[in-house]
């Protein structure tokens, strides 16, 4: 039996009320960084418990802005996991700094805390842990390392809005946290990003930098820094704010589906991810590992022929053309886990709009084919 309609890897959960919220913005005449953006920033502070939230145009702009605001640039090094979405490293390249790659732990797909210290040099300025696929990294250990070596922590929490460790929210452990609202994430504005920080001075600098370097001094507009235009539109903010209300429900559905995959995928040729008891996973991606004996790309094609959308989960960044040519790192030797996750990882459909018959079919098909 082949499922009668194609099941995409991701479908955003856009509802009638989202569309109405969007139309309201058009009617209001205030299209950029207006009340809707403010409302979103307040909503993000409420959810995460952060003191400040700064909405920007996307989740790469937010990483870039965080690095600029912290004064990281030429000659500086930033430690990141070798396995992540490419934007994590690109943001560092964009400020002229050097990404220093560290391998991941295959049980979590997050940076391996025990090799971070070996990567620290006199040029290291920051650690940028990625809460890959929505699971918080081992932040207590990472915070201790950062404190000892006086490094900043920028959390790439693009996949982790709503993720927690012992009830503390992703993005609020370090100096600054960055989220994305790309359509692959749980809630979306088409594009969108937001930064959170408890540091008032840093928040003020981020606000200035996102808007052409403008600061209001004595009621007057002054251009105090060479800033960017990284503003969020009110279209984006209206969509995201409205979906933010449904985030708990969306995360609950995803968690239910994750449990389904964990319990019902039977083959010993596949290993499924699990979250420790003290961590709430957002399951931005349900990322399984296929045994080395299985050709992952051929398996993606086979699932595709059976009307199931799937794909690899993230890149082994130093293995991608630009980074390979620039840094010439032997990934097999230095980052074996990242390379394995890149070659054998498989992202499966998991989203609010996925139906029960669809997920049952996906599980049945994988069990039959592996």
Ligand X SMILES: *Cc1c(COP(=O)(O)O)cnc(C)c1O
Residues of the shown chain interacting with ligand X in the complex, contacts defined by CB under 6 A: 58-60, 84-85, 87-88, 130, 156, 158-159, 180, 182, 193
State in angstroms the smallest separation of the CB of 10 from ligand X. Answer: 12
How far is 251 from 246, CA to CA, in rounded Å? 9
State in angstroms the smallest separation of the CB of 194 from ligand X. Answer: 10
List the structure tokens of 105. Answer: 């732990």
Nearer to ligand X, 85 or 261 (CB): 85
Nearer to ligand X, 59 or 99 (CB): 59
Nearer to ligand X, 84 or 242 (CB): 84
| Residue least distant from ligand X (Cβ) | 59
State in angstroms the smallest separation of the CB of 49 from ligand X. Answer: 22
Strands 286-290 and 345-348: antiparallel
∠ CA 225-38-247, rounded to 5°: 120
- In 10 A of CB 141, how many CB atoms? 12
How far is 234 from 30, CA to CA, in rounded Å? 7
Nearer to ligand X, 193 or 227 (CB): 193
Helix H or strand E encompassing 252: helix 247-264
Task: Check the CA dihedral 243-251-284-206 and report its sign.
Answer: positive
Q: Which three-class secondary structure state does DSSP give residue 127? A: strand
State in angstroms the smallest separation of the CB of 30 from ligand X. Answer: 23
State in angstroms the smallest separation of the CB of 82 from ligand X. Answer: 13
Nearer to ligand X, 156 or 165 (CB): 156
Nearer to ligand X, 43 or 193 (CB): 193
∠ CA 330-121-85, rounded to 5°: 50
Q: Which three-class secondary structure state does DSSP give residue 243? A: helix
State in angstroms the smallest separation of the CB of 81 from ligand X. Answer: 9
Query: Could you tell me if 102 and 127 are in contact, meaning their C-beta atoms sit under 8 angstroms apart?
Result: no
């Amino acid at each position: 039996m082949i499922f009668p309609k194609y099941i995409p890897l991701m479908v955003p959960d856009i509802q009638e009320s989202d569309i109405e919220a969007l139309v309201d913005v058009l009617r209001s005449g205030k299209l950029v960084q207006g009340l809707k953006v403010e409302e979103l920033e307040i909503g993000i502070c409420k959810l995460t418990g952060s003191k400040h939230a700064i909405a920007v145009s996307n989740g790469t702009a937010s990483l870039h802005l965080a690095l600029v605001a912290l004064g990281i640039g030429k000659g500086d090094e930033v430690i990141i996991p070798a396995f992540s979405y490419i934007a994590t490293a690109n943001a560092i390249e964009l400020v002229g700094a050097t990404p220093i790659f560290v391998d991941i732990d295959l049980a979590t797909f997050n940076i391996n805390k025990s090799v971070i210290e070996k990567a620290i040099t006199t040029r290291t300025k920051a650690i940028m842990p990625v809460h890959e696929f929505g699971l918080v990294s081992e932040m207590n250990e990472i915070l201790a390392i950062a404190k000892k070596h006086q490094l900043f922590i920028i959390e790439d929490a693009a996949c982790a809005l709503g993720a927690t460790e012992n009830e503390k929210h992703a993005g609020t452990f370090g100096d600054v946290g960055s989220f994305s609202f790309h359509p692959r994430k749980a809630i979306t504005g088409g594009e969108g990003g937001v930064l959170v920080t408890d540091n008032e001075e840093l928040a003020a600098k981020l606000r200035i930098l996102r808007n052409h370097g403008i600061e209001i001094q004595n009621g007057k507009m002054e251009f105090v820094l060479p800033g960017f235009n990284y503003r969020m539109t009110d279209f984006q903010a209206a969509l995201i704010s409205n979906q933010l209300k449904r985030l708990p429900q969306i995360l609950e559905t995803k968690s239910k589906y994750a449990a389904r995959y964990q319990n019902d995928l039977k083959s010993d040729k596949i290993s499924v991810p699990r979250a420790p008891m003290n961590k709430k996973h957002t399951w931005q991606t349900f990322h399984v590992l296929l045994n080395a004996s299985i050709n992952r790309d051929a398996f993606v094609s086979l699932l595709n022929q059976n009307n199931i959308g799937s794909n690899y989960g993230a890149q082994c960044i130093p293995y991608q053309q630009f980074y390979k040519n620039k840094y010439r790192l032997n990934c097999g030797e230095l980052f074996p886990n990242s390379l394995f996750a890149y070659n054998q990882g498989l992202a499966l459909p998991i989203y609010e709009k996925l139906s029960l018959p669809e997920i049952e079919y996906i599980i049945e098909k994988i069990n039959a084919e592996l």
